[in-house]
Structure 1
């Protein structure tokens, strides 16, 4: 008997299922949470695994698993672009070291003077100007304020891709869905 890697139940015939990108050996009840991975017998294809939908088997229990197993495509693809928290963040420009050095020299400051005005170590300024380290968010803000420069590229440049919500006047899914508690 093998233990299910999701719920811990003993199972005689575990199924290998891909859930959130990880392949797990699970029992029949937990197999509904992902897509079943089957090894191919022929080696003529370039991929080792193929995935198939496991929506045909249903647990039917009162644990609510039937509502969570029908969540659309299993994470393998989709037509829409996926966004995450990193899309909203500003990135440090590639030539930040040159910008810092040129701005400091234009202000007729030494590395030590700049470090003192920022309340940082002079060794940090040297490393920044050589491009050895990236500035932390707080140091980046101090440098931008002190030297009147910009060290970041604007993140979230594709913010206009999404159009929806109540400002468009169209009905959204949130306006229609009723929660079952």
Structure 2
């Protein structure tokens, strides 16, 4: 009977080592693998998930009082990015926004540029700062460098430059009645 008692712990030890080895190999297979743009399916994958269109949300984008200002001193831009299938997606890259006065009776309606903002989304912190999980839109509070936004007619232009992708554009014309 004693020989059985000695044999039992050895079998338990072997089972424990086998379980530990299995768990270690499972952990190694679940480890995050580095991404490679050279992978055969990478181009097809990028075509599927990269944004193909941006759209300034006309009913949500508006002059805003940022930092507790008494009057509108900026614009809150709500922007949608859509993939090839038309679904909303997060977008990384460089967003460029330009605010112009409207030039009346002209072929090029964009008059004097009043402001330009460059916003880079390159890190998870950047994405958290500008992505709204509830609406699934990007939210950019853009403050004017000097003063407030006077009543008038304006054109807001948006551009997205993605790494390795096409440049995407949208334009929104709006009237600010004042505060």
User: What TM-score do you get using the length of structure 2 for normalisation?
Assistant: 0.20
Larger strand share, 1 or 2: 2
User: What TM-score do you get using the length of structure 1 for normalisation?
Assistant: 0.20
Larger helix share, 1 or 2: 1
Q: Which has the higher contact order (CA 8 A, sep 6+)?
A: 2
